[in-house]
Amino acid sequence: MNRVMDFLTGKKVAILGFGKEGKSTFNYIRKHNPSFKLFILDINENIVEENEFLRGDLATRIVAGYGYLDHLRDYDVIIKSPGISLKDVDTSRFEDRITSQIEIVLECFRDQIIGITGTKGKSTTASLLYKVFKDQNVDTLLLGNIGTPVFDYLDDIKDSTKVIIEMSIAQLEFIKTSPHIGVILNLFEDHLDHTGGSVEYYHACKMKMFEYQSRIDFSVYCEDNETLNNLVNSKKRDSQLIRYKFAEPKQDFNTVYCDGNYIYCKNKPVYNVNDDRNLIGKHNLSNIMAVFAVVNLLGLSNREASKSVNEFKPLEHRLEYVGDYDGVTYYNDSIATIPNATINAIESLGIVNTLIFGGKDRGIHYEELVEYLKNCNVENLICMPDTGYKIGSQITGKNVYKAENLEIAVDIAKKITKKGMICLLSPAASSYNQFKNFEEKGNLFKQLVRK
């Protein structure tokens, strides 16, 4: 039995967007039914020339160019790729037909899925949970926004498989099914360019992780995050709420908490926070609490999970140690695309002397970061376009430098950073104004530092 093909059979199916995930959808359907009638919708008019395998596929029709979104209501199922934004399209007449790889997998395997989202920490938490599962011989897959299209591994999902899926706003926006275990790490202001400037809509999309759960499901969330806590408690939920926080609750078996030297689950210590681990900072300790919440829901070993946590190596571009050069330690935190992430990075490292920051202006508010930078111990602020210039102009009493590109920024940092201290790249903004993504920015930073 193929649950996905059974779901699609008899429907007029369109693949919306033919990038990495669109091709993944196409390849999966073709693998299981070479004659299944498909429509591919993409703005790229050269899609056939660039994908020769489409030329001889008589069961596929291409709708390309600027009118590719004009007739979405004509299809029974629209499998949308995350990179396609519909914020300027009135979807009210056909929103129930918009789906995605993520939602189809949720429809078919929801009881086996642990979904993880949040403004920050998704990839780290999902990857850490994956390591915990693998170390305890749990049959598991790590899929989703972390870079692996879920359809690439559909045939590997057995009845015993646990599927960890990292979910972005683009993957949650139109879903109508929530996972058996849903985890929301935090909610901050972000992705306003995707949501037409509405932070409320952004948060509402994230909350879909819990929205369609039932009384047999679990909603895991950080009670310390005020925005998230308020949204969770703003409506009655059928699911079982599992909270985690930095404070001891009063006789609450449903709260994982950190108090003193330990993380507690069901009021019993499960992890010593003084253990030598690679995930530094209070924000990562919060992510670790989320992992222990899931570990205890599934009855796994806390002792083995503690070993996995301590062995886990941080992902690239996330408070990544670059090296010590001429007495200065360099860290790459290019994933930090919001103010809160940059503040967390500075707090985690402690002896930051120089901060390199700035990127694309997406309409996010920076008042909190401005006040923090005015009062923290960071002496040197190297500001890059566009947001760095704007923030730097509001700060006095610090050494403020302008650098029009990363090469100049690193050159300045090498000259001014005090020996025995840290130079940190943590943009507090997206990198799209000068780079393809945060990875490209982080990789260039490491090259320049090591040169």
Q: Please tell me the predicted confidence (pLDDT) of residue 193.
A: 57
Mean per-residue pLDDT, 352-357: 98
Is the pLDDT confidence value at 421 over 90?
yes
Options 3.40.1190.10, 1.10.20.10, 3.40.50.620, 2.140.10.10; CATH for 102-311 is: 3.40.1190.10
pLDDT tens sequence across 30-44: 999 999 999 999 999
CB-based burial label for 43 (10 Å; 0-12, 13-18, 19+): middle
Q: Please tell me the predicted confidence (pLDDT) of residue 189.
A: 83
Q: What is the rounded distance in angstroms from the CA atom of residue 90 to the CA atom of residue 233?
A: 30
Using an 8 Å Cβ cutoff, are 79 and 19 in contact? Answer: no
Q: What is the rounded distance in angstroms from the CA atom of residue 397 to the CA atom of residue 311?
A: 41
Using an 8 Å Cβ cutoff, are 256 and 285 in contact? Answer: no
Give Cβ neighbours of residue 391 (< 8 Å, ≥ 6 apart). Answer: 357, 358, 366, 369, 370, 373, 383, 428
Q: Please tell me the predicted confidence (pLDDT) of residue 290.
A: 98
Q: State the first-to-last Cα distance of the chain, in angstroms, to the nearest integer.
A: 55
Is the pLDDT confidence value at 370 over 70?
yes
Tell me the pLDDT of the chain averaged across its residues. Answer: 94
Using an 8 Å Cβ cutoff, are 361 and 431 in contact? Answer: no
Using an 8 Å Cβ cutoff, are 378 and 397 in contact? Answer: no
Mean per-residue pLDDT, 125-140: 98
Q: Please tell me the predicted confidence (pLDDT) of residue 82.
A: 84
Give CATH superfamily name and number for 3-99: NAD(P)-binding Rossmann-like Domain (3.40.50.720)
Give Cβ neighbours of residue 451 (< 8 Å, ≥ 6 apart). Answer: none
Structure tokens at 197: 């400037």
> At residue 59, what is the residue type?
A
Is the pLDDT confidence value at 16 over 80?
yes
Is the pLDDT confidence value at 253 over 90?
no
pLDDT tens sequence across 215-237: 999 999 999 999 999 999 998 99
Helix (H, G, I), strand (E, B) or coil at 199: helix
Look-up of token digits 């508010």: 365
Is the pLDDT confidence value at 281 over 90?
yes
Given its phi and psi angles, is residue 138 left (phi above 0), alpha (psi -120 to 50 degrees) or beta?
Answer: beta
Residue 288 belongs to what H/E stretch?
Answer: helix 282-297
pLDDT tens sequence across 178-220: 999 999 999 998 755 555 558 899 999 999 999 999 999 999 9
Q: What is the rounded distance in angstroms from the CA atom of residue 51 to the CA atom of residue 89?
A: 27
Is the pLDDT confidence value at 64 over 70?
yes
CB-based burial label for 85 (10 Å; 0-12, 13-18, 19+): middle
Percent of the chain topping pLDDT 90:
86
Q: Please tell me the predicted confidence (pLDDT) of residue 172.
A: 92
Q: Please tell me the predicted confidence (pLDDT) of residue 270.
A: 97
Percent of the chain topping pLDDT 70:
98
pLDDT tens sequence across 75-103: 999 999 988 888 888 898 899 999 999 99
Q: Please tell me the predicted confidence (pLDDT) of residue 191.
A: 55
Detail the DSSP E strand segments found in 333-406: 352-357, 380-383, 399-402
Task: Tell me how far the alpha carbon of residue 355 is from its chain's centroid.
Answer: 24
Options 3.90.190.20, 1.10.10.10, 3.40.50.150, 3.30.300.30; CATH for 320-450 is: 3.90.190.20
Determine the angle formed by the axes of helices 339-349 and 367-375, rounding to 10 degrees. 20
Q: What is the rounded distance in angstroms from the CA atom of residue 278 to the CA atom of residue 119?
A: 22
pLDDT tens sequence across 428-450: 999 999 999 999 999 999 999 99
Q: 241 has which bridge partners?
A: 219
Phi then psi dihedrals of residue 32, to 5 deg: -100, -15
Domain ranges of the chain: 3-99, 102-311, 320-450
Using an 8 Å Cβ cutoff, are 154 and 141 in contact? Answer: no
CA torsion, ordered 19, 22, 27, 30, to nearest 10 deg: -140
pLDDT tens sequence across 317-337: 999 999 999 999 999 999 999
Q: Please tell me the predicted confidence (pLDDT) of residue 149.
A: 86
Look-up of token digits 């690439």: 152
Read out DSSP for 62-121? EEESTTTTTTGGG-SEEEE-TT---TTS--TTTGGGEE-HHHHHHHHHGGGEEEEE-SS-
Q: What is the rounded distance in angstroms from the CA atom of residue 145 to the CA atom of residue 277?
A: 26
Residue 339 belongs to what H/E stretch?
Answer: helix 339-349
| pTM of the predicted protein model | 0.90
Is the pLDDT confidence value at 108 over 70?
yes
